[in-house]
Structure 1
Amino acid sequence: MVQQLSSEPSATLIYPESDGKLMADNTKQFRWIVVIKENLELLFATDDHVFIAGDLLWYPVEGNNTLAQAPDTMVVFGRPKGDRNSYQQWREDNIAPQVVFEILSPSNRLKEMAKKLQFYERYGVEEYYLFDPDKLDLQGWVRAEDRLNVIEEINDWVSPQLGIKFVLTSDNLEIHRPDGERFLTFVELGKLREQEKQKIQQLEQAQKDAIPRLHELGLTREQIANVLSLSVEEVNKVLP
């Protein structure tokens, strides 16, 4: 059973907003943190009661400002979006983050990661994912009653909470949305947006080029507008 989170409140106790540690040790680790966090933000953008944060200190117990972890990414269902200096669980309807992600860096130690697993297990995390981008090694744990149990086969695993699928290839980790689309970097999203913009521009130009030809065939301006799904005003801008 998850430990009961209660203690004597303290009006003067300060809960630090930083643990003094760097968010990431290198560009690869940082890139993965951003990709996972921002793609999850995008996935749940229309749900106002899914809070997602990166490197935010989570305090599970009121009155203890030394008991905390800052997951690389955490997802909390049932809490509103919005800015926070830290996640103080007793101020959040006592809802613990259900899903957390950690991205390994060379400086991480086995003992440190073991303590994090114990923390997440003790304070109610439902799913925990640990990824080493250097070794392309993904590990996962899912809760069964009061324990986080290792996911024996992580490849093609679908997160019960998030609906995303993890696919390990020979040279990469792919994370797929429930609709099958792959998590993309900001650069990839920018390129995709530019491609869509170019497609729209090409379609608009093709419509404009078709207007004179349809007019020569004897169609009225109203008919042309109907065929091309344009307004009559847009047709009039092209025809003399």
Structure 2
Amino acid sequence: MTLSANQLKTEIIYPSSDGKPMAESDPARDYLIYAVEALDIYFQDRNDVYVSGNLFVYYKKGIPSAVVAPDVFVVFEVDKKKRISYKVWEEGGKVPNFILEITSASTQENDEEDKPKKYSLLGVQEYFQYDPTGDYLNPPLKGSYLFEGKYQPITSNFLPDGVSSFHSEVLGLDLRLIDGELRFFDPQTGRKLLSHKETEQARQEAEQARQDAIPRLLELGLSIEQIASTLSLSVEEARRFLE
């Protein structure tokens, strides 16, 4: 029996998971989720920016072992869509522009030595590392940019309140340590980027503050119409808060 060329061709499998846990500790998981969600919200109006984390990135077609799985990464000039893995050759050759690794005891050596070499060869423009516990990196937040094929350190700035801040040219954002916790900031507005949970919490707090303000403003003699205007509510919404 003669086999066709298609029958002789062995399908190459690119796994979407290695079966290992997403992160080994609560801090690593929490900051991974925060960074992915905060960046995804920040770039939500751009259809050419893909934000993901803990996803396999395959960079050589036909070689499944040529793979990395950054904790957090951002790719510009590709479609914003859901993926089970990221294959560079299917994305017009676009590799991550920004990568953040959450460093821990088990990943420190790999994050410090192997990954920078691999990411620089791939052409990743910026590589950041963050150690939530402060036990494995000094300083606990480090950034570098690619220059002539090698990573050069990004110098941190100390704000008037003593906060350490690194500017990412790729993202147009600042990475800051607030009481040891990593947070992204928009340097143009000074606004802190929030996760989905933080965004909802802020919304509820703002709504509660407005609700609490209405009785006090009524006691000061303002009409319901004046209160609605002051709190950027409709008259119906202001009345509803009093129910």
TM-score, normalisation: structure 1: 0.76
Change in 2 beyond 3 A, CA 1:41/1:113 = same
Distance (whole Å) between structure 1 residues aligned to residue 86 and residue 94 of structure 2: 10
* Residue ranges of structure 1 left out of the alignment (5+ in a row): 1-9, 215-223
SS at structure 2 position matched to 1:156: strand
Q: What's the counterpart of residue 98 of structure 1?
A: 97
What is the 5 A alignment of 1:79-90? 79-90=78-89
Deviation at 1:176, TM superposition (A): 1.4
Q: What's the counterpart of residue 121 of structure 2?
A: 122
Comparing 44-53 with 103-112, greater Cα deviation is found at 103-112
* Residue ranges of structure 2 left out of the alignment (5+ in a row): 1-8, 158-163
1:148 and 2:147 correspond:
no
Distance (whole Å) between structure 2 residues aligned to residue 91 and residue 34 of structure 1: 26
Deviation at 1:107, TM superposition (A): 1.9
Deviation at 1:118, TM superposition (A): 1.0
The structure 2 residue matched to 1:191, chosen from 201, 205, 226, is: 201
| Alpha-carbon displacement from aligned partner over 1:29-73 (angstroms, at most 9, x marks no partner) | 101101111100111011111100110100111111101011011
Comparing 53-62 with 100-109, greater Cα deviation is found at 100-109
Distance (whole Å) between structure 2 residues aligned to residue 91 and residue 125 of structure 1: 17
Distance (whole Å) between structure 2 residues aligned to residue 16 and residue 167 of structure 1: 35
Percentage identity across aligned positions? Answer: 30
Q: What amino acid maps onto 1:140 in structure 2?
A: G
Q: What's the counterpart of residue 43 of structure 1?
A: 42
SS at structure 1 position matched to 2:130: strand
| Alpha-carbon displacement from aligned partner over 1:175-204 (angstroms, at most 9, x marks no partner) | 312321223455433321112222454577
Distance (whole Å) between structure 1 residues aligned to residue 180 and residue 123 of structure 2: 33
Aligned residues: 217
Q: What amino acid maps onto 1:117 in structure 2?
A: P
Q: What's the counterpart of residue 23 of structure 1?
A: 22
| Alpha-carbon displacement from aligned partner over 1:63-118 (angstroms, at most 9, x marks no partner) | 11101011011100111111111000111111111001100122224146411111
TM-score, normalisation: structure 2: 0.75
Change in 2 beyond 3 A, CA 1:163/1:190 = same
Q: What's the counterpart of residue 177 of structure 2?
A: 168
Residue pair 1:19, 1:57 contacting (<8 A) in 2 also = no
| Alpha-carbon displacement from aligned partner over 1:134-167 (angstroms, at most 9, x marks no partner) | 1160111101132222224364221001111123
Q: What amino acid maps onto 2:177 in structure 1?
A: L
Distance (whole Å) between structure 1 residues aligned to residue 106 and residue 23 of structure 2: 10
Q: What's the counterpart of residue 157 of structure 1?
A: 166
Distance (whole Å) between structure 1 residues aligned to residue 237 and residue 72 of structure 2: 48
Change in 2 beyond 3 A, CA 1:111/1:70 = closer
What is the 5 A alignment of 1:70-81? 70-81=69-80
Q: What's the counterpart of residue 3 of structure 1?
A: none
Change in 2 beyond 3 A, CA 1:213/1:71 = closer
Comparing 20-29 with 182-191, greater Cα deviation is found at 182-191
